[in-house]
Amino acid sequence: MTRLLLAAVLAVLVGYGLLEAYPLLSGPSLTIATPANGAAEPNGLVTVSGSIRRVVALTLDGAPILPEQDGSFSSTISLPAGSAILTLTASDRFGRSITKTRTVFVSSSSPLTNN
């Protein structure tokens, strides 16, 4: 009877330990909400937004982005006409990182004028 009780307590402790260690073991999380991959942006202004978890550093094409307390982030950048590959990298405190890319197409928006 005591062996069964001891085994049950040990199983509960191991389960709880794994549950608490999961965030440390799983690494950083990065979700990009906008822009969609392959999005067309006619004016060249692109807002990159999303959310992160378990991250201490976030960069967009090498430039740091400061996220909000809840893990959300947003950054608006201006891109020239043509295609651009945006690279977001999130790193955790253990040096693990995750990188995601989005390709954006910017059309030249030069209106025709009649004189």
Domain residue ranges of the chain, discontinuous segments joined by +: 27-106
Positive/negative CA dihedral, 74, 77, 83, 89: negative
Sign of the dihedral through C-alpha 53, 55, 57, 59: negative
What's residue 112's pLDDT? 42
- Do 26 and 50 meet the contact criterion of CB atoms below 8 Å apart? no
CATH fold of the domain at 27-106: Immunoglobulin-like (2.60.40)
How big is the chain by its Cα radius of gyration, in Å? 22
The count of other CB atoms within 10 Å of the CB of residue 74 is 13
> Residue 83 and residue 39: Cα distance in Å, rounded?
10
More confident residue, 103 or 19: 103
- Spatial distance between the Cα atoms of 4 and 87, rounded to a whole number of angstroms: 53
- C-beta neighbour count of 28 within 10 angstroms: 20
Q: Rounded CA gap, 81 and 108, in Å?
A: 5
Tens digit of each residue's pLDDT (9 = 90 or more) over 50-74: 999 999 999 999 999 999 999 999 9
Predicted confidence at residue 113, as pLDDT, reads 40
Output the pTM of the full model.
0.74
15-56 pLDDT per residue, tens: 777 777 666 677 899 999 999 999 998 888 999 999 999 999
